[in-house]
Amino acid sequence: MLEAPMRAIDPDRGRWVALARDALTRALAGLASRDRLRLASYYAQDMTLAQIGRVLGEHEATVSRHLARTRRLVRAEVERFLREQASLSDHEIEACVASVIDDAGPLDLGRLLAPSGGRKESGDVRSKQEADASQR
């Protein structure tokens, strides 16, 4: 039986995940809705570039270019947030991003890309919809 290799536990792991979640949430919230839709379709719904292109009326290559551009924007915004708002050094930013890339843990990109940005539970959304309907 093979044993899993031992990994050192990063004492800052919880902090890195919380900071990454905050930074990613802010970066995604600043995106145009079409860019958010592309990201959600590709990463959360596992759609192919061709499928996304059919939905959005774009060529597959155009979808690919837009996704690459959006990933660069998100990465730059995450790093900016970590540097300016969380006051992390370049080394700490690298450690934070590497830690989360290695194991995203509780980060759920599908939830972060949801229209509410993951801030409401489905029950909360249903309650609001029911309340809105009863006021009509």
At 14-61, the pLDDT tens digits run: 899 899 999 999 999 999 999 999 999 999 999 999 999 999 999 999
More confident residue, 86 or 126: 86
Query: Whole-prediction pTM value?
Result: 0.76
- Residue type at position 47: M
Helix 13-29 × helix 60-84 angle, to 10°: 130
Extents of the domains making up the chain: 13-135
Percent of the chain exceeding pLDDT 90 equals: 60
Output the pLDDT for position 67.
98
